[in-house]
Structure 1
Amino acid sequence: MGEKVTLQGWLYNKRSSGKLHFLEVRDGSGICQCVVFKGEVSPELFARADHLTQETSLRVTGTVREHGKLKGTFEVGVAELEVLAEPAREYPISPKEHGTDFLMDNRHLWLRSKRQWAILRVRAEIVAAVRDYFDSNGFTLVDAPIFTPNACEGTSNLFSTDYHGDPAYLTQSGQLYMEAAAAALGKAYCFGPTFRAEKSKTRRHLAEFWMVEPEVAFLDLDGDMDLAEDFLVSVVSRVLDKRRKELEILERDTKPLERVQKPFPRIRYHEAIEILRKAGHDAKVGDDFGGDEETVISQGFDRPVMVHRYPIDLKAFYFKRDPKDLSLALNVDVLAPEGYGEVIGGGQREEDLSKLEQSIDVHKLPREAFEWYLDLRRYGSFPHAGFGLGIERTVAWICGLPHVRETIPFPRMLNRLHP
Structure 2
Amino acid sequence: MKTTIAEVHKYVDQEVTIGAWIANKRSSGKIAFLQLRDGTGFIQGVVVKAEVNEEVFQKAKSITQESSLYVTGMIKVDERSPLGYELLVTNMEVIHEAVDYPITPKNHGTEFLMDNRHLWLRSKRQHAVMKIRNEVIRATYEYYNQNGFTKVDPPILTGSAPEGTTELFNTKYFDEDAYLSQSGQLYMEAAAMALGKVFSFGPTFRAEKSKTRRHLIEFWMIEPEMAFYTHEESLKVQEEYVSYLVQSVLKNCKLELGVLGRDTSKLEQVQAPFPRITYDDAIKLLHEKGFDDIQWGDDFGAPHETAIAESFDKPVFIIHYPTALKPFYMQPHPEREDVVLCADLIAPEGYGEIIGGSERIHDYELMKQRMEEHDLDPAAYDWYLQLSKYGSVPHSGFGLGLERTIAWISGIEHVREAIPFPRLLNRLYP
| TM-score of the aligned structures, taking structure 1 as reference length | 0.98
Q: Please report how far the alpha carbon of residue 68 of structure 1 lies from its aligned counterpart in structure 2 after TM superposition.
A: 8.6
Q: Please report how far the alpha carbon of residue 66 of structure 1 lies from its aligned counterpart in structure 2 after TM superposition.
A: 3.0
SS of 2:406's partner is helix
SS of 1:378's partner is coil
SS of 1:226's partner is helix
How far apart, in 1, do the equivalents of 2:77 and 2:250 lie?
Answer: 27
How far apart, in 2, do the equivalents of 1:119 and 1:167 lie?
Answer: 37
Q: Does 1:414 align with 2:425?
A: yes
Deviations, residues 154-210 of structure 1 (Å, cap 9, x unaligned): 000000100011100000001001100110011011110000001111111101000
Q: Please report how far the alpha carbon of residue 292 of structure 1 lies from its aligned counterpart in structure 2 after TM superposition.
A: 0.9
Match of 2:167 in 1: 157
Q: Does 1:307 align with 2:318?
A: yes
How far apart, in 2, do the equivalents of 1:411 and 1:184 lie?
Answer: 35
Match of 2:18 in 1: 7
Deviations, residues 52-92 of structure 1 (Å, cap 9, x unaligned): 110000111111123396698321121111100011x3000
CA 247–72 in structure 1, closer or farther in 2 if over 3 Å, else same: closer
Q: Is the 8 A contact 2:42 2:83 kept in 1?
A: no
Match of 2:304 in 1: 293
Match of 1:205 in 2: 215
Superposition pairs for residues 20-419 of structure 1, below 5 Å? 20-67=31-78, 73-87=84-98, 89-281=99-291, 282-419=293-430
Q: Please report how far the alpha carbon of residue 272 of structure 1 lies from its aligned counterpart in structure 2 after TM superposition.
A: 0.5
SS of 2:382's partner is helix
How far apart, in 1, do the equivalents of 2:101 and 2:82 lie?
Answer: 33
Deviations, residues 256-286 of structure 1 (Å, cap 9, x unaligned): 1111112211111000001100000022100
Q: Is the 8 A contact 1:161 1:169 kept in 2?
A: yes
How far apart, in 1, do the equivalents of 2:327 and 2:312 lie?
Answer: 28
How far apart, in 2, do the equivalents of 1:63 and 1:333 lie?
Answer: 53
How many residues align structurally?
A: 418
Match of 2:8 in 1: none
Match of 2:3 in 1: none
How far apart, in 2, do the equivalents of 1:72 and 1:151 lie?
Answer: 48
CA 67–49 in structure 1, closer or farther in 2 if over 3 Å, else same: same
Q: Is the 8 A contact 2:214 2:404 kept in 1?
A: yes
How far apart, in 1, do the equivalents of 2:230 and 2:241 lie?
Answer: 16
Deviations, residues 27-50 of structure 1 (Å, cap 9, x unaligned): 111111111111121112211221
CA 69–291 in structure 1, closer or farther in 2 if over 3 Å, else same: closer
CA 126–339 in structure 1, closer or farther in 2 if over 3 Å, else same: same
SS of 2:73's partner is strand
Runs of at least 5 residues in structure 2 that lack an aligned partner in the other structure: 1-11
How far apart, in 2, do the equivalents of 1:31 and 1:189 lie?
Answer: 35
CA 190–84 in structure 1, closer or farther in 2 if over 3 Å, else same: same
Q: Is the 8 A contact 1:118 1:250 kept in 2?
A: yes
Which stretch has the larger CA shift, 355-364 or 409-418?
355-364
Q: Which residue type is aligned with residue 95 of structure 1?
A: P
How far apart, in 1, do the equivalents of 2:80 and 2:248 lie?
Answer: 32
How far apart, in 2, do the equivalents of 1:72 and 1:198 lie?
Answer: 42
Q: Is the 8 A contact 2:328 2:374 kept in 1?
A: yes
Q: Please report how far the alpha carbon of residue 380 of structure 1 lies from its aligned counterpart in structure 2 after TM superposition.
A: 0.7
Q: Which residue type is aligned with residue 245 of structure 2?
A: V
Q: Which residue type is aligned with residue 406 of structure 1?
A: E
CA 252–69 in structure 1, closer or farther in 2 if over 3 Å, else same: closer
Q: Name the % identity.
A: 53
Q: Which residue type is aligned with residue 355 of structure 1?
A: L
How far apart, in 1, do the equivalents of 2:83 and 2:388 lie?
Answer: 62
Q: Is the 8 A contact 2:33 2:46 kept in 1?
A: yes
Q: Please report how far the alpha carbon of residue 383 of structure 1 lies from its aligned counterpart in structure 2 after TM superposition.
A: 0.7
How far apart, in 2, do the equivalents of 1:244 and 1:74 lie?
Answer: 16
Q: Please report how far the alpha carbon of residue 136 of structure 1 lies from its aligned counterpart in structure 2 after TM superposition.
A: 0.7
Q: Following superposition, which runs of at least 4 residues in structure 1 exceed 6 angstroms of deviation?
A: none
Q: CA RMSD in A?
A: 1.2
How far apart, in 2, do the equivalents of 1:79 and 1:323 lie?
Answer: 74
How far apart, in 2, do the equivalents of 1:353 and 1:9 lie?
Answer: 61
